[in-house]
């Protein structure tokens, strides 16, 4: 039998070789083209990518230096690096090195000076009160003395009035006897009267003259006494004025000493307060709950300068935020309340930047602030806080952890985004309708 005329049916030949079958490649080709064309109309969320680091939204929650408030020498460490402390826990104890504060009884001795100064002030107050009493007594004595002198002056005035009346009477008698004497002398010259009668008239005239002169002398003496009394009154006023002025000067001097003593006492009290506060600075306490890191001083006996850093405390309770930097060209697209998706270093994530809803392992945040001045790195700093409406950020986050941020912008078709990138156009500028809504990528 000729084996060449014998055909064995093989199914594999029909499967591999399709000469007798119609090809379906064009259907697949048209289907893929149609699918690709339809996918160009899918929505795509424009975004801005920026790198950032974990920080805190509040200044008091960021790592802070613990500095020495005064110069001193380390006596004892109460913690070591890595320890967690509570607010008010002792970190390090220092001792004094300045010679002005080495006296252990400095506060008590200064208080003694304050008490001594208080006693001195009380003494001066007593002296000032005594001066006031002395001035009052001098003023009363002055009034009495002036009254006494004025009474004496009144008596002299009364005496002067009596003597003036007496002088008037004597003057009338003198004028009468003078007239009689002159007429008697004329009659004697005419021989009408005798010499004896003339001598009698002359004797009467001389007696009247003597009485008049005596009365005038009394008046002059009384006036002299009144002048002496006036001078005496002026002397009394001058004398008491000097005494009162001296007492007033002593009072003012006491008041001046009181004011100076009160100033010195206030200064001493200030020193007591300063020394007391300084004594409390020898023990440096933790300002808040946190972890001690980066101790810059080691051992016992090292000298600290005023304000020198001792260690750093990292707060345990932190409201995390991300500080990221965007290019100046992207800053107009950033607004407060805008959504930002983050991928944190060390946390697995699958990201579709154009479809944030389909991404996995990302965390949502909101822009809370951005700086209006450029940073030294040539970019603008943006602060993004956790969005409470989405799932919380990981508790394992630490300050300084890196974060890749994707700021969500306007929703556009995929073909438009491809066309924009091919032409190198920036993302569309848009204005948010309502920052409080969850979908912050929608544009007007």
- Residue 2, pLDDT score: 47
Say how far apart CA 233 and CA 142 lie, in whole Å.
Answer: 10
Q: Write out pLDDT tens, residues 287-298.
A: 999 999 988 887
Topology of the domain comprising 42-57+319-423: Elongation Factor Tu (Ef-tu); domain 3 (2.40.30)
DSSP 438: S
Parse the chain into domains and list their residue ranges: 42-57+319-423, 64-95+282-314, 106-278
Say how far apart CA 354 and CA 46 lie, in whole Å.
Answer: 6
Low-confidence residues in the chain, pLDDT < 70 = 1-24, 352-358, 410, 424-426, 428-444
Q: How many CB atoms sit inside 10 A of residue 186's CB? A: 11
Q: Within its chain, how far is the Cα of 86 from the centroid?
A: 30
DSSP 287: S
Helix axes 106-189, 195-280, angle to 10 degrees: 170
Query: 106-278 belongs to which homologous superfamily?
Result: Methyl-accepting chemotaxis protein (1.10.287.950)
H/E segment holding residue 57: none
User: Domain 64-95+282-314 maps to which CATH number in 2.40.50.140, 2.40.50.100, 1.10.8.60, 3.40.640.10?
Assistant: 2.40.50.100
DSSP 139-170: HHHHHHHHHHHHHHHHHHHHHHHHHHHHHHHH
Q: Which of 390, 239, 292 is nearest to 92 (CA)?
A: 292
- Residue 312, pLDDT score: 93
- Residue 330, pLDDT score: 82
- Token reading at 231: 């001078």
Count how many Cα atoms sit within 13 Å of the Cα of residue 96 in the half-sphere of its side chain: 13
The most distant pair of C-alpha atoms in the chain lies apart, rounded to whole Å, by 243
The residues pairing with 51 across neighbouring beta strands, listed in sequence order, are: 404
Q: How many CB atoms sit inside 10 A of residue 193's CB? A: 17
Could you give the 3-state DSSP secondary structure of residue 194?
A: coil
Q: Write out pLDDT tens, residues 383-442.
A: 999 988 888 998 888 888 899 888 877 677 777 777 777 776 667 655 554 444 333 333
Q: How many CB atoms sit inside 10 A of residue 261's CB? A: 20
- Token reading at 89: 């826990």
Say how far apart CA 443 and CA 91 lie, in whole Å.
Answer: 54
Q: Which of 311, 316, 280, 282 is nearest to 296 (CA)?
A: 311
- Neighbour-count burial of 363, counting CB atoms closer than 10 A to its CB (0-12 exposed, 13-18 middle, 19+ buried): buried
The per-residue b/e assignment along 390-426, b for 16 or more CB within 10 angstroms, e otherwise, is eeebeeebeeebebbbbbbbbebeeebbeebeeeeee
Identify whether the C-beta of residue 118 lies closer than 8 Å to the C-beta of residue 265: yes
- Residue 7, pLDDT score: 52
- Residue 289, pLDDT score: 92
Given strand 283-285, what is the order of strands in its sheet? Answer: 283-285, 90-95, 72-77, 303-304
- Residue 154, pLDDT score: 87
- Residue 444, pLDDT score: 31
- Token reading at 39: 């996918």
């Amino acid at each position: 039998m000729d084996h060449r005329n014998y055909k064995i049916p093989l199914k594999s030949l029909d499967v591999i070789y399709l000469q007798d079958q119609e090809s379906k490649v064009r259907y697949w080709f048209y289907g893929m083209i149609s699918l690709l064309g339809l996918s160009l109309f899918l929505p795509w969320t424009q975004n801005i990518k920026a790198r950032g680091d974990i920080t805190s939204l509040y200044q008091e929650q960021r790592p802070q230096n613990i500095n020495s408030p005064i110069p001193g020498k380390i006596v004892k460490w109460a913690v070591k690096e890595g320890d967690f402390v509570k607010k008010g826990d002792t970190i390090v104890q220092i001792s004094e090195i300045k010679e002005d504060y080495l006296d252990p009884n400095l506060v008590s001795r200064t208080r003694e000076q304050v008490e001594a100064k208080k006693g001195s002030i009380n003494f001066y107050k007593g002296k000032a009160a005594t001066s006031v009493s002395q001035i009052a007594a001098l003023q009363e004595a002055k009034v009495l003395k002036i009254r006494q002198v004025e009474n004496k002056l009144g008596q002299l005035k009364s005496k002067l009035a009596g003597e003036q009346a007496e002088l008037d009477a004597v003057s009338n008698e003198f004028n009468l006897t003078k007239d009689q004497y002159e007429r008697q002398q004329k009659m004697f010259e005419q021989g009408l009267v005798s010499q004896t009668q003339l001598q009698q008239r002359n004797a009467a005239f001389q007696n009247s003259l003597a009485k008049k002169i005596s009365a005038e002398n009394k008046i002059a003496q009384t006036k002299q006494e009144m002048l002496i009394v006036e001078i005496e009154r002026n002397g009394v006023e001058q004398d008491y004025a000097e005494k009162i002025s001296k007492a007033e000067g002593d009072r003012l001097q006491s008041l001046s000493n009181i004011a100076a003593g009160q100033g010195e006492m206030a200064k001493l009290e200030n020193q007591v307060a300063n020394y007391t506060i300084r004594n409390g600075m020898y023990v440096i306490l933790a300002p808040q709950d946190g972890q001690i890191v980066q101790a810059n001083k080691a051992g016992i006996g090292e000298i600290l300068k005023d304000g020198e850093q001792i260690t750093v405390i990292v707060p345990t309770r932190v409201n995390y935020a991300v500080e990221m930097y965007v290019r100046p060209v992207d800053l107009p697209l950033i607004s407060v309340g805008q959504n930002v998706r983050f991928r944190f270093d060390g946390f697995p994530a699958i990201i579709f930047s154009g479809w944030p809803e389909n991404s996995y392992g990302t965390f949502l945040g909101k822009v809370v602030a951005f700086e209006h001045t450029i940073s030294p790195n040539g970019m603008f700093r943006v602060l993004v806080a956790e969005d409470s409406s989405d799932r919380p950020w990981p508790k394992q986050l630490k300050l300084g952890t890196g974060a890749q941020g994707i700021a969500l912008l306007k929703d556009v078709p995929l073909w438009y985004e491809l066309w924009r990138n091919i032409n190198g156009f920036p993302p569309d500028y848009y204005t948010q309708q309502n920052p409080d809504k969850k979908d912050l990528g929608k544009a007007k």
